[in-house]
Amino acid sequence: MKLVSGNSNRPLAEAISQYLDLPLTECAVRRFADQEVFVEIRENVRGEDVFVIQSTSYPANDNLMELLIIIDALVRASARRITAVVPYFGYARQDRKMGGRTPISAKLVANIITRAGADRVLTVDLHAGQIQGFFDIPTDNLYIAPVMSRDIKERYTLDNLMVVSPDVGGVVRARELAKRIDAPLAIVDKRRERPGESEVMNIIGNVAGRDCILFDDIVDSGGTLCNAADALLAADAKSVAAFITHGVLSGGAVARIEASRLEELVITDSIAATDAIKQADKLRVVSIAPLIGEAISRTALEKSVSSLFD
């Protein structure tokens, strides 16, 4: 088995390498003067089971191209099987037609990864579960609920907690976490007027006196979380924290979170933390390296991955 890392999230790749006690394969990923990507695999991978670790986070297109070119290099180097390990799958929010004459970009990216030569895909908390069906190759979607529930149990008093979905679309995800920590569930009903902005309408469920945990897969601008926190506190919630899988946190999101009424925002290292995230008082990062490392190990040994979540 071989591990190969692109440049998108080297710290996570190194943590996975440490978990598996397997060094990263020497691989040069660099740019020509015009930013064209060049890849050189500097170790023999012929006949090997290779796992390529690369999130397609910002800059999404550059990191996607790195992934594709690494896969192509491995195909031409006669790797036996190539698994694209994509902790954060960019373009996942474009999983359906949003209007007339618009693309389904998640399907396009799935096609490109497949055509590049990947034999399997391993990812974490897809924005929509049906994206697994966009791939014509086996795809494992790792759920983050076990990792987050373990962290919550270590840090919170469970008897007063309430899990809250920040929108109707995330109810299934939030219900899974609520089940694991034996907590009730509430829903924020919101109306999005335009991209990047949201308006909270009302709270479904009684949150008065509760310590609320907002649970979702992606935080980008942070507007939804901040508005949801304000709405929950206006409904007499005792406190509000947020647990989110992928911390995209674009633009002024970190400053927005810092100025918000959230007690804390917990994200994973599926996307490499920026300096702003590292310095923020309200942001905390939990590692998914053990989760991905165990999934890689089980895939290589042809063992069950789904049993990780039993």
Q: Which residues are annotated as a binding site for ATP?
A: 34-36, 93-94
Long-range (24+ apart) CB contacts under 8 A made by 28-34 are 29/66, 29/70
Per DSSP bridges, beta strands 27-31 and 37-41 are: antiparallel
Distance, CA of 209 to chain centre: 31
Residue ranges of the annotated binding site for D-ribose 5-phosphate are: 192, 216, 220-224
Reference 166, options 208, 109, 127, 219; nearest CA is: 219
From 97, 153, 190, 303, the catalytic residue: 190
- Between CA 227 and CA 42 the distance in angstroms is 49
Q: Are 187 and 171 in contact (CB under 8 A)?
A: yes
Q: What angle do CA 230, 274, 168 make, to 5 degrees?
A: 35
The residue type found at 286 is V
**What is the number of residues in the chain?**
310
The residue type found at 111 is N
Residue ranges of the annotated binding site are: 34-36, 93-94, 127, 167, 192, 216, 220-224
DSSP, res 22: -
- Is 190 assigned a catalytic role? yes
The residues annotated with a catalytic role in the active site are 190
